[in-house]
Amino acid sequence: MEIWDLIDENGNKTGKTMVKGEPIPKGMYHSGADVWIINSENKIFIQKRSPKKKLSPNVWAMTGGSIIKGETSIQTIERETLEELAIKINVDNLKFVKRFNTDEVFIDTYLCRQDIELNDIVMQENEVSEVKWATFEEIEELFNNGQFIEYRWEFIRDIIKAEITRGE
């Protein structure tokens, strides 16, 4: 059972909590964290959400998840990459780039430069059905065709484009 801190419209903790799956009280939010992993070839790691997922099944996304009570966003990224993919993210390479909110979630967004062997990944069946390295253009196409999770790429694409351009 996951317990989430509730936060107000300004992103501040309220001292109240909720259990994952319960409706979020009106005017409240919870926190999440995403990581966009970019390899030395300037490709972006993406994962296809399991068809078993309640929200946004069978679409491509970055790695991330909800911040559990008492966790930092970096700890969430460490936990999610380990649970969903059996990989250890190099937290020394994490670079915070943006915090934004979507409907009921404030999301801390990070970039991470790291090479990962796809063969080393062990996917958590209930979370992930496929993984791959994609170019910026491939993700753009997935997004434009409705095959990429909403409320993520549109907030980060310009930052990722600048990061990739710097890395070339």
Q: Tens digit of pLDDT for each residue in 46-73? A: 999 999 988 889 999 999 999 999 999 9
Distance CA 79, CA 68 (A): 10
Q: DSSP states of 52-95 as a string?
A: T-SSSTT-EE-EEEEPPTT--HHHHHHHHHHHHH-----GGGEE
pTM: 0.94
Buried b (16+ CB within 10 A) or exposed e, 85-104: bebebeeeebeebeebbeeb
Is the pLDDT reported for residue 167 higher than 80? Answer: no
Contact between residue 146 and residue 56 where contact means Cβ atoms under 8 Å apart: no
Total domains, the chain: 1
Q: Tens digit of pLDDT for each residue in 123-151? A: 999 999 999 999 999 999 999 999 999 88
Give the type of residue at 10: N
CATH number of 90's domain: 3.90.79.10
- Residue ranges making up the domain that contains 37: 3-167
Is the pLDDT reported for residue 165 higher than 90? Answer: no
Average pLDDT for 3-26: 92
Give the type of residue at 67: I
